[in-house]
Amino acid sequence: MSISIQKGKLGILVGGGPAPGINGVIRAVALEAMKRNWEVVGFYDGYQWLSQGNIEMVCEKSAKLTVEDIYKIHFQGGSILRTSRTNPRKIENGVENCVSMLKEVGITKMVTIGGDDTVYGAYLLSEEAKKQGVNIQFAHVPKTIDNDLPLPENINTFGFATACHVGATLMKNLMHDAKTTNRWMLAVAMGRHTGHLALGIGKAAGATLTIVPEQFNNKTISIDDVCDLIQIAMVKCNVLGQNHGVAVIAEGISELLPDEEIQKIPGSKITRDSYGNRRLADVNLALGIRTNLEKRFQELGKSTRLVSVELGYLLRCADPIPQDQIYTKDLGYSAVYFLLNKGENHQGNVVICLDNGELNPIPFESIIHSETGKSKVRYLNTSSYVYRIAQEYMMHLNDRDLTNTKFLAQMAAELNMNLDDFTERFKHTVFHSPKDISN
């Protein structure tokens, strides 16, 4: 009888917010590593316990994973290793402690699962390991429903497809509700810096309007700028005989609002997480927009029925759809393949990327912003063909409307304005259709 010899220890941790498919990555990593006689250690709660530098606590808050632990977890949302937003850099000696604890546990290969903050933490740990002369190699699996990590433009982060799927299903219900009750729904979707998820949900569901930070060129704006877009959509729908609709708003809009705008929103406050990000959960964006719009229509002597809904937390721990179940298996296997392959193209510390069905790892150094030192952000390309398609199916002023004086006059009358004042007031909301097709 042959006896397998343990080759080493591979660690796994999860950081940041939940996303559908985390367990699928954990399972794929653990199974492939175990097949190759590596012990797999799962660290609970991200960098939280490692950064404290207490080996007894680290051992208590970690576990040797077995086949029984991970057998069917790829069907489940959430994370069996839990997660946290702990920033090891904000804890005294936190980065140094993380590396020391991994060394003491015996980890030589490390898989981190997370978004921009987690990969930034992995980058810091990899640099500290080099500094200490500790042999630990990192492979980061990109995870975020925001889809904003700097992968090639045609490649999504895992969890995004499921979040879009669940979000679009919820939107279908909201659209039925809006039509049944003759009201407007304002749905806020997650996306700290970008509008990938909001646009994906809105485009899939056929929402009346979707608003993303990129359409403002990520510059400082006011609540009024957002409400102008929604009010025009509402007025245009009304003139066309449709007194209901659904607007999807990316929560990243909150990042463009100055502090004084946030402070005007009832129940909102300005707080920041350990990475310096504004806590968007403490900003009641949907209520701020709703309150502004209600005031506008009250001043016109008109009543309007608005409902605000937060989609965010309903999406993050959903059971992954098959697309993400397949994708996370590919990513998990690729992380282990990269770490355990001895070829010259498998050196260094990387983000795992599958491009056209092939492993194309991205070195940590190439995704870190030279000025901020943090991970770069992948924004929506508002010049792209697919973005243009999304806008063509949404309700806003466009070039065709501007040539229809009668229609514009009807819209102006809805707001008790004359045609010239209306055109000047809302000209900034106009979507300019392409000139390459006949109008």
Please identify every residue annotated as catalytic. 146
Rounded-to-integer distance, Cα 70 and Cα 286, Å: 39
Is the Cβ–Cβ distance between 265 and 288 less than 8 Å?
yes
- Give me the numbers of helices (H) and strands (E) for the chain, helices first please: 17, 13
Token pair 């279908």 in the structure block, residue:
172
Q: Is the dihedral of CA 292, 298, 304, 306 positive or negative?
A: positive
SS3 251: coil
Q: How many CA atoms lie within 13 A of 157 on its CB side?
A: 30
Can you list the pairs that 154-159 forms with residues at least 24 positions away whose Cβ atoms lie under 8 Å? Answer: 155/353, 155/354, 155/355, 157/19, 157/115, 158/19, 158/20, 158/21, 158/24, 158/25, 158/324, 158/327, 158/328, 158/331, 159/19, 159/20, 159/21, 159/22, 159/316, 159/320, 159/324
- The tokens describing 159, both together, are 């969890």
Rounded-to-integer distance, Cα 158 and Cα 141, Å: 9
